[in-house]
Amino acid sequence: MSKDNIKGFKLNNNLCLIQLWITFIVTCSIQFASCELIIVQTALGNISGSIEEVTSYDDTGNPSVMFFAQYLSIPYAEPPIRFRRPEPKTPWAGEYNGTFYRPACYHQGDPARVGTFHVKTAMMSEDCLTLDIYAPNSTIVNQSSLPVLVFLYSSPGYSSAFAADVLCTVGDVVVVVINFRQGMLGFFSLGSEAASGNYGLFDQQMALQWIAKYIHSFGGDPKKVTLVGHSFGASNAIYHTLYPGNRGLIHRVVALSGTALLPSGGKSYVRNSIETGVLEEIGCQRASDADIMSCLRGKSLTDILNALDKKSFTFAPSVDGTFLRSYPEVMITDLAKDDNSTKELEFLNVDLMLGLNNMEGGAHVALLWAERLNTTYNEFNVSRADIRNIVVPIAIKRTFGSNISQAITQTVNFQYNDVTGTDDPQRLRQRVVDLFTDIDVAAPLVRTGNVHALLGQGSTYLYQFSEPLNLTQAPVWLSGANRADDVHFLFGFSERGLQFVNHVTGFTPTVEQRVLSTRLIKMIAKFARTGNPNPLSAAGDPQWPEYDTTSTTYLDISAAHVTPKHHFREPFMTFWTSVVPELLTATSQNATSPLVCPKEIGHTIKVNLVSAENIIIALSIVSFCLLCACVLLVCLSVAREPTLYSNSKYAVMKTPNLSETPSISGPSDS
């Protein structure tokens, strides 16, 4: 049997190598069980990995032991120069040891407040541009060419917290998890050639190039690459579909709890300004950009990290003219033009799956509002006044900017506050969770799905995950799935990965949760194969319909049921995709933020009758209240100035001062 026949695989043991040449087809599973190391030949050089075993569960909850190969911390680029784009990895002599994890990329932030994934402190280094590969036994025994899932984690994070042993074996896919630069080291920008930013995105793109060239040696099919991102990683995945350099490198995208867009009219995630305050903290304020960068590269990493710990700084992707030629909102608007400038982008060509948890906003309660309202997240209570005066204004400011009409804030308060006058703590808490689930995740996903479904050539699917895990970073009163709960199911509760995550200490999944994990993995694996997750794995499962803008169809997933539904999170989604954009246009108060309404991308969002009816009723109530207020003002005017009517046959109405019209708000809290 030639080297071509075994696709570059060797065992790092002479006896096993002889046995492999003689009886590879019949007995290779025995060989791999007894010989722990495996070698892959690539054009870069030899890479050693290890054969491991993992316990997985089938659709009925029966466990079985499966084998897989893992190749850890493979360098896909040269050690990076600080604040410069990565360079391709050059070939090495000898054998690269891929049997253990190397240091993660540096990231700043209080590890107790990262929320969705409370990762443990790991060894970190600037020399961190590596990737991990997990391949099922079929890639070794049968020389399979399997679909490839490339996972982009949220920030802060690192690859070893997302061990894909269960995911690769249950899904029968090759999984790649990328380490990339984050925070300031990944996204600091001066908006000039000296520091153009987006280094983290270019790291990921370099990894995608590496995968296209070398993944076939590990049993992966470079023509079936699905980019899977969570939260910040999901927005990055969408950015990659807008970069011409990724043409042909990405075929499908799964965006979990994130996208490149905000609700229509919202401030872009992409920045065009720099964090100038960080230069002062580090001590690198200089006259020229070149001098600034020379100073930053001369500072020790300890100096930089200490400065970042003193204040809160935000570093995000920026418009650099290369990776992001403009704001994602503008680029997606241009997709409707169907000109040559958009044909090189993959957004409309890829198959797209969007997913979220039904109570994503629970993370906000845990990380932001409990502290702001001076309580713990497990004892979190909020009043109607808190929602009206604190929660809604801050939510609107962080999404739409400070120059926003008060009418927008009042309308959002009316939509989400409990205007019935009840003070039920659970009901009010749920309103806060709903607000941030919708404004941060659901509405952006729907906006993305609407564009893709209407203009794209690929398929579009949407799911809502409703199975709670109740891990330690979620409030005890949260009755649904918190942010990132579905990611734990996707990775099959891998013990190799969970050892790096603090908030799962002591957690043991139930048989029902393991079964649901298997079902979710198989859905996404089928999508990675064909762009269609159907048929679903369990007997009697329904068909998962494609997403469309008329009925906004989606799949609701929990241990109790897997059910297709329509009118996703209505009437709230119509509120964000139709009502708010129209109000923004009418008030013309949001000029500082890129404003892209649905009509600007060549279509009008269709509103189903039930949703429209709800909106009409709500607006009618508001109008009635305003009318009553005006009548009251008229009556007061008449009562206070009787002389205006004494000499007239007919009553003359004094025109009320419009500035005295009462604002729209919930009932008094007294």
pLDDT tens per residue across span 23-42? 333 333 433 344 489 999 99
Let me know the angle formed at the C-alpha of 190 by 257 and 159, rounded to the nearest 5 degrees: 35
User: What one-letter code names the amino acid at 245?
Assistant: G
CB 417 within 8 A of CB 572: no
Whether 14 has a pLDDT exceeding 60, the answer reads: no
| CA–CA gap between residue 72 and residue 668 (Å, rounded) | 60
**Average pLDDT for 617-623:** 56
User: What one-letter code names the amino acid at 254?
Assistant: V
Q: Is-catalytic flag, 405? A: no
- Look at residue 606 in the predicted model and tell me its pLDDT: 39
Whether 612 has a pLDDT exceeding 60, the answer reads: no
* Encoded tokens for 70: 């893992």
- Look at residue 660 in the predicted model and tell me its pLDDT: 35
The 3-state DSSP class for residue 473 equals coil
| CA–CA gap between residue 158 and residue 179 (Å, rounded) | 6
Picking from 276, 311, 317, the residue whose alpha carbon sits closest to that of residue 155 is: 317
**Average pLDDT for 504-525:** 91
Confidence band (pLDDT; 50, 70, 90) for 138?
A: confident
| CA–CA gap between residue 280 and residue 284 (Å, rounded) | 6
Confidence band (pLDDT; 50, 70, 90) for 368?
A: confident
* Encoded tokens for 559: 């241990």
Picking from 591, 518, 595, 496, the residue whose alpha carbon sits closest to that of residue 100 is: 496
* Encoded tokens for 254: 């799964």
The 3-state DSSP class for residue 102 equals coil
- Look at residue 134 in the predicted model and tell me its pLDDT: 98
CB 416 within 8 A of CB 228: no
* Encoded tokens for 381: 């209570």
CB 116 within 8 A of CB 231: yes
- Look at residue 332 in the predicted model and tell me its pLDDT: 84
Confidence band (pLDDT; 50, 70, 90) for 558?
A: very high
Summarize pLDDT for 209-236 with one digit per residue, the tens: 999 999 999 999 999 999 999 999 999 9
pTM: 0.82
Whether 108 has a pLDDT exceeding 80, the answer reads: no
Other Cβ atoms closer than 10 A to 340: 7
Higher pLDDT, 333 or 82: 82
Assign residue 531 a region (left: φ > 0; alpha: ψ between -120 and 50; beta: otherwise): left
Confidence band (pLDDT; 50, 70, 90) for 637?
A: low
CA R_g for the chain: 28
**Average pLDDT for 247-266:** 94
Picking from 374, 273, 359, 357, the residue whose alpha carbon sits closest to that of residue 315 is: 273
**Average pLDDT for 263-283:** 82
User: What one-letter code names the amino acid at 531?
Assistant: G
CB 318 within 8 A of CB 198: yes
Which of the listed ranges 113-117, 363-367, 461-465, 592-596 does the model predict with the highest average pLDDT? 461-465
Active-site residue, selected from the candidate residues 160, 231, 264, 537: 231
Whether 669 has a pLDDT exceeding 50, the answer reads: no
Higher pLDDT, 310 or 209: 209
Let me know the angle formed at the C-alpha of 31 by 26 and 34, rounded to the nearest 5 degrees: 150
**Average pLDDT for 34-60:** 91
Let me know the angle formed at the C-alpha of 370 by 365 and 373, rounded to the nearest 5 degrees: 130
Higher pLDDT, 191 or 617: 191
Whether 552 has a pLDDT exceeding 60, the answer reads: yes
Whether 611 has a pLDDT exceeding 50, the answer reads: no
* Encoded tokens for 253: 């995208």
| CA–CA gap between residue 462 and residue 239 (Å, rounded) | 19
- Look at residue 624 in the predicted model and tell me its pLDDT: 60
Confidence band (pLDDT; 50, 70, 90) for 4?
A: very low
Confidence band (pLDDT; 50, 70, 90) for 575?
A: very high
- Mean residue pLDDT of the chain comes to 82
- Look at residue 33 in the predicted model and tell me its pLDDT: 41
The 3-state DSSP class for residue 59 equals coil
Confidence band (pLDDT; 50, 70, 90) for 373?
A: confident
**Average pLDDT for 259-281:** 83
Q: Which CATH class is domain 64-275+314-375+440-569?
A: alpha beta
- Look at residue 158 in the predicted model and tell me its pLDDT: 87
Summarize pLDDT for 374-391 with one digit per residue, the tens: 777 788 888 899 999 999
Confidence band (pLDDT; 50, 70, 90) for 431?
A: very high
